[in-house]
Structure 1
Amino acid sequence: YYNLSAAWLTYFFSVHNAWVSYLPKPLRDEIVNQGGFVADVFAPIGQVEECEGGYYVSGKYNFVSGINYCDWVGVGAMMKFDDSDKPERVGICLKVSDLEVVKNWDSLGLRGSGSNTLVVDKVFVKPEAILRFNKIIECSQPPEKDFDQDYLYYNTPFYPGFYVGFAAMAVGGAERVLNEFEKHTAGRIRFSGVVEKESPTSQRVLAELSIEMESAKALLNQYIVMMEQDKGGSYEGARYKAIRATIIDKCVNIGVKSLLTLGGHALLKGHPVELFARDLIAIATHITSLYEDGIHGYGRHLFGFKTGIQG
């Protein structure tokens, strides 16, 4: 509601530290006790070369949110293991001090997230630094039994829980935009002398966007209800993604339409509606938020096609 870049990092630092709990105990304890933030970019583009005692990892990763403030990072790659008949996507935990951060983040929105580029150049890792996501999907609970049994995150499918924050922060940002739209409309007088809050146009827009806000919140509540119900076994990953993408699409619509309706003064750099509209658009461009992908995948799922969407 106050700053979407701050919300983005708050969410990311929480959820990124969460996957650390699935690492082997010695490495997990080292990361937790060291106390540094954890970033990640799990696009499976890394090159992994087996060597004595472990592996060499290389790759160039873009859009690593919060990397400016982190001591640890997880990067993605595809690897083949002896107990599997095909390559699988993995996360590899690295120390940021062993890597190069290229500060090239100059974006339309979420400028405060520090989502810069990371260069990994033949960095050695031990096998325990490799996180197999397929194993987590099978059981979202950490390897030891000494954990909070009632914690929702450990009792819901891994990916829907991992991604819920995108929709949640979009709802908070859209709510701020809607309040700003109402405030600025109430104080606006057109050249003709008409008080804008008395205009049927702005009245209709406020009503329409308020209903969109109610709809987005209701869908987010439904998403959480699904998380509470799906405590093991199969679940509808495509449905989760479609609901999340729809929430974010509605929130972007609130931002853009508020900006267009308020007119020129809302275009000034730093105006709350201008700032939040840009940030909402940036959230919607994230790979897990793409509306067309989410809706298409859900449609395929409803007709019985396998989508591979995990949430």
Structure 2
Amino acid sequence: MKANISDEKIYSELIESAKKVGIIAEREAVEADENATVSKNVVDAIVEGGLNRLIIPKEYGYPQIDFRTFTDIVRTVGYHNLSAAWLTYFYGLHNSWVAFLPKHRMDEIYEDGGLLADIFAPVGKLEKVEGGFILNGKWNFVSGINYSEWVSVGADYLEEGAERPDRLGLCMRVSDLEVIENWNPLGLRGSGSNTVVAKNLFVPDDMVISFNEMMINRKPYKLEIDEDYLYYNVSFFPAFFVGFPAMSIGAAERVIEEFIARTKKRVRFDGTNEGESAKSQRVAAEMTLKLKAARGLMNEYLEMLESDEGQYSLAEYNGIRVQIVKYCLEIANRAVSTLGASALAKGQPIEIMTRDLMAISTHVTSLYEDGIDSYGKALFGIQPMTMG
């Protein structure tokens, strides 16, 4: 049984904090696009609202939330700005892998109070030495690294005698790495997802987590904190990826609202008001029904997490996620193609959110063809290659 937030006052305060983050980010959206990062104003709002401290074990004294509250927070920010939602999600979420480190390392990182980033693509090169590893590598797309104190990066390690490599996460201070500011994408520009480089860096064994172990045991082999921690006893990666569809739904909600508001004001060359047109009314209805379908799938995903005892396939989680993101991107594309060229004006919500939803859809966990392929295989009893 997962923790559920019962204090309505705390819930309301968290949602208000999420709105504040989103409103600041929306106000600064054009500047964030130009700078390829949100400003310190946005990050300060995340920290001041405590949104970065929500996925921390209860013994450290922070409010305990459930997956629904977490996704409501992310969705609320996403309604205003997806780059800010991306970082709000990640800065809170990344505390989850710290809970798989030994207790003294949890104390060090949680009590330090710094923001966390990660990139788990297993591209690092490892050499085993006494007491740890020598790490070399270069990782792109490290979201939020500009404001982070800690980061975890990925590498595969084949232990002598093992049949397959273990995927590891190696944790360190950002100051131990070189940060290359090279983020220049089409969408999610404000996420500041720059590159980090490690050169002959020693990482001690007690700052290393095994993803193979996390997926098999569903909690640390040596349990040192509360048994009912949100990210224990659940399929870790489906829980880890829960924010991507949530923020996409928030953006789709905003796109539909913007579409209806703009359509009501739109006057065609012949003098007719487009809000009275059956064409645009039908488009609005179809987009709204697609949003309802996305919300329904999101609810099913959360119900699966809340009852997860290992009975659900990772491919099913993956299939639901990619379908939600696809629906939301389709809503944005439909809004643009119906409103016409004015919807492409730089800096207005539909234009920004369409680009950002496109970027979310290209994330490795949101690739539609991959996710549907994996789910289809699973339905026919074939074990697909998916992390969840």
Same fold (TM over 0.5): yes
2:209 to 118, 131, 155: 131
Alpha-carbon offset, residue 265 of structure 1: 1.5
More strand by share: 1
Structure 2 counterparts to residues 47-62 of structure 1, below 5 A: 47-62=125-140
* Contact kept in structure 1, 2:215 and 2:235, CA below 8 Å: yes
Listed one character per residue, the Cα deviations across residues 61-110 of structure 1 (whole Å, up to 9, x for unaligned) are 00000010111111110112368432111111011101111101111111
Match of 2:124 among 46, 62, 80: 46
Q: Which amino acid aligns with 1:125?
A: V
Gaps of 5+ in 1: none
- Partner residue in 1 for 2:352: 275
Q: Could you tell me which residue of structure 1 aligns to residue 270 of structure 2? A: 192
Selected match of 2:151 from 68, 73, 83 = 73
1:29 equivalent in structure 2: 107
Alpha-carbon RMSD across the aligned residues, in angstroms, is: 1.4
Specify the alignment match of 2:186 in structure 1: 108
Aligned-pair CA distance for 1:163 = 0.6
Q: CA deviation at 1:145?
A: 5.3
1:304 is the counterpart of 2:372: no
Q: Deviations over 1:179-219 (max 9, x none)?
A: 11011111111111110011121111101100000000000
Q: Match for 1:249: what amino acid?
A: K
TM-score of the aligned structures, taking structure 2 as reference length: 0.77
Is the CA contact 1:152–1:228 (under 8 Å) kept in the aligned structure 2? no
Do 1:155 and 1:228's aligned partners in 2 also have CA atoms closer than 8 Å?
A: no
Select 2:367's aligned residue among 290, 294, 304: 290
Aligned counterparts of 2:89 and 2:271: Cα–Cα separation in 1: 45
Q: Which moved more, 1:68-77 or 1:133-142?
A: 133-142
Question: Where does 1:124-163 land on structure 2 (aligned, <5 Å)?
Answer: 124-142=202-220, 143-144=222-223, 146-147=225-226, 149=228, 151-163=229-241
Aligned mates of 1:2, 1:133 — CA distance in 2: 34
Structure 2 SS opposite 1:201: helix
Query: Equivalent residue for 1:236?
Result: 313
Q: 2:339 aligns with which of 254, 262, 272?
A: 262
Counterpart CA distance in 1 for 2:161 and 2:120 is: 22
Contact kept in structure 1, 2:96 and 2:231, CA below 8 Å: no
Cα gap change, 1:305/1:293 in structure 2, threshold over 3 Å: closer, same or farther?
Answer: same
8 Å CA contact 2:374, 2:384 repeated in 1? yes
3-state SS of paired residue (2:232)? helix
2:326 match: 249
Q: Which residue does the alignment assign to 2:84?
A: 6
CA contact (8 A) 1:110 1:278 kept: yes
How many residues of Structure 1 are paired with residues of Structure 2 in the alignment?
309
State how far apart, in whole Å, the 1-side matches of 2:147 and 2:253 are.
Answer: 28
Residue 135 of structure 1 deviates from its aligned partner by 1.2
| CA–CA separation in structure 1 for the residues paired with 2:244 and 2:165 | 28
Q: % of aligned pairs identical?
A: 50
Question: How far apart, in 1, do the equivalents of 2:131 and 2:348 lie?
Answer: 55
> Counterpart in 2 of 1:89?
167
Shift of 1:29: 1.2
